[in-house]
Amino acid sequence: MKFSALVHEDIPANRLVCLGGIGSVPDRDPDTIYLRLAREEELPDFVATRDLTAGETVTIEIKGSPYWTVEAAEDIWAGTLVTTAADGKLQIFKDGVQYIGYSTHSAKAGELVTFVRKPGLRWGAFASGGLQVAATKVETESAKTTKKSKTEKKE
């Protein structure tokens, strides 16, 4: 399957990418699909296989690969659960709510690491209220992004 999307911000190759949904892309056209860098602990929709430039229209091809190769944000051990780090990089799953898979080999920060896409939830998050905390974090981050964009337009 293939479709077109508009790149909302510069996205380096080998980074995790999310769809730019309502609230994450200001003044979005309801008929356009937008792409942005994945944020920390988000479940990514795609991986960038090359550098993408803001404003560029790209063709997305869904291949259904069970593994992706991404830049490591920190040292990652082989066979460990991983999640999205800031700037669409990959980090070890520590104490969040959601992991996105597991690494197939070790990698140092800045190196490429391949992981098997197998998302899951830390069940303790349900009992501890972690899901509400995660939802609040996302809402706060989204509000900051929207507020920043509106301020930039006024200038």
* CA-closest candidate to residue 103, choices 122, 76, 64: 76
As for how many domains the chain has, the answer is 1
In-domain check, residue 27: no
In-domain check, residue 117: yes
Q: Kindly report the three-state secondary structure assignment for every residue of the chain.
A: CEEEEEECCCECCCCEEEECCCCCCCCCCCCCCEEEECCCCCCCCEECCCCECCCCEEEEECCCCCEEEEEECCCECCCCEEEECHHHCEEECCCCCEEEEEECCCECCCCEEEEEEEEEECCHHHHHCHHHHHHHHHHHHHHHHHHHHHHHHHC
* CA-closest candidate to residue 88, choices 41, 148, 155: 41
In-domain check, residue 80: yes
| Burial call 52-85: b when 16+ CB within 10 Å, e when fewer | beeeeebeeeeeeeeebbbbbbeebeeeebbbbb
Tens of pLDDT, residue by residue over 21-76, are 877 888 888 999 999 999 999 999 999 999 999 999 999 999 999 999 999 999 99
Dist. CA 91–CA 76, nearest whole Å: 7
In-domain check, residue 2: no
In-domain check, residue 85: yes
Tens of pLDDT, residue by residue over 93-106, are 998 889 999 999 99
In-domain check, residue 86: yes
In-domain check, residue 90: yes
Torsions phi, psi for 140 (to 5 deg): -65, -45
Residues spanned by the domain of 85: 67-122
Nearest-10 Cα torsion for 88, 95, 137, 99: 50
Residue 139 has a pLDDT of 62
User: Would you place residue 133 in the very low, low, confident or very high pLDDT band (cuts 50, 70, 90)?
Assistant: low
In-domain check, residue 74: yes
